[in-house]
């Protein structure tokens, strides 16, 4: 009896060769212990070395293997072939809402700019020299933002977000979640600088709370919750600045 196989129907786009993206189907061995990424690497090794896609860790850490698998944004290293049966066809597209560079490789320049805009790094309340020692933080202070620090920049949330799909000026789920993460960090003092960005009309107020970002997130970051919490804290800040003389903004 022939060994069982499964089909990968993969979107191809080769600049200079394809006028528009086209599907190409590959038959690969069906192995119950493989994930979709393994099957794609088999194609690359045995069938078609020109197939382009990003990956690195194979364990849901690097965030680079995001693609649409059967219409849902997912990490190719997370989707098991055992969820299918021999003879099935798995449809693999490039991550939605981003321009395609080649095949399954998308251009994420827009997101990189947004990370910079929201200042997704710690800006200390007070600069300390090395001699003055480390910035200390209690376990409770860490717990207040830890969930939002688990983001691996895989961009599945952007691919799932209808607001970003319609208007790419929206800062978007992961960048806002990261802004919230640093705003909650007791070592950080740049809350007002980030609020100026995420409180703008392209920021938190554009979110209509569809919530798909949190559904597809492989690290349970819950960017939808971060956006809602940012709405609350931004509103509180605004009230404080209006009602209290010398308010905190």
Question: Which partner, ligand FES, ligand SF4, none, binds residue 174 by CB below 5 to 8 Å per kind?
Answer: ligand SF4
* Residue ranges in contact with ligand FES by CB under 6 A: 55-58, 60-65, 75, 77
Residue carrying the six token digits 């929206």: 170
- Please report, for the chain, how many H helices and E strands are present, in that order: 9, 7
Nearest approach, Cβ of residue 154 and ligand SF4 (Å): 4
Query: Which residues, 6+ apart, have CB-to-CB distance to 78 below 8 Å?
Result: 35, 60, 218
Task: Locate the DSSP E strands across the chain.
Answer: 5-12, 22-29, 66-69, 72-75, 89-93, 100-102, 105-106
Query: By C-beta, is 60 or 211 nearer to ligand FES?
Result: 60
Nearest approach, Cβ of residue 58 and ligand SF4 (Å): 16
Specify whether the backbone of 128 is left (phi greater than 0), alpha (psi in -120 to 50) or beta: beta
Query: By C-beta, is 77 or 207 nearer to ligand FES?
Result: 77
Query: By C-beta, is 75 or 94 nearer to ligand FES?
Result: 75
Nearest approach, Cβ of residue 40 and ligand SF4 (Å): 19
Nearest approach, Cβ of residue 78 and ligand FES (Å): 7
Query: By C-beta, is 43 or 226 nearer to ligand SF4?
Result: 226
Query: By C-beta, is 28 or 155 nearer to ligand SF4?
Result: 155
Question: Which partner, ligand SF4, ligand FES, none, binds residue 221 by CB below 5 to 8 Å per kind?
Answer: ligand SF4
Spatial separation of the C-alpha atoms in residues 143 and 225, rounded to whole Å:
15
Spatial separation of the C-alpha atoms in residues 124 and 143, rounded to whole Å:
18
* Residue ranges in contact with ligand SF4 by CB under 6 A: 151-157, 173-174, 177, 216-217, 219, 221, 223
**Can you tell me whether residue 225 is helix, strand or coil?**
helix
């Amino acid at each position: 009896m022939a060994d069982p196989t499964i089909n990968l129907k993969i979107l191809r786009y080769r600049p200079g060769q394809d006028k528009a993206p086209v599907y190409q189907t590959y038959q690969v061995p069906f192995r119950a212990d493989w994930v979709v990424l393994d099957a794609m690497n088999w194609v690359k090794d045995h069938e078609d070395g020109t197939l382009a896609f990003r990956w690195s860790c194979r364990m849901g850490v690097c965030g680079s293997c995001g693609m649409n698998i059967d219409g849902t944004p997912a990490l190719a290293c997370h989707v098991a072939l055992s969820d299918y049966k021999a003879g099935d066809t798995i449809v693999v597209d490039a991550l939605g809402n981003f321009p395609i560079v080649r095949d399954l490789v998308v251009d994420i320049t827009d997101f990189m700019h947004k990370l910079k805009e929201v200042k997704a790094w710690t800006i200390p309340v007070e600069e300390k020299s090395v001699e003055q020692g480390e910035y200390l933080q209690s376990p409770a202070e860490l717990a207040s933002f830890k969930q939002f620090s688990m983001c691996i920049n895989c961009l599945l949330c952007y691919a799932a977000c209808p607001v970003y799909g319609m208007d790419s000026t929206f800062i978007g789920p992961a960048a806002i979640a990261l802004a919230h993460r640093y705003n909650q960090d007791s070592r950080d003092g740049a809350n007002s600088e980030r609020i100026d960005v995420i409180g703008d009309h392209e920021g938190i107020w554009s979110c209509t709370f569809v919530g798909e970002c949190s559904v597809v997130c492989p690290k349970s970051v819950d960017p939808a919750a971060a956006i809602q919490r940012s709405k609350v804290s931004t509103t509180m800040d605004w009230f404080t600045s209006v009602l209290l003389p010398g308010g905190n903004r």
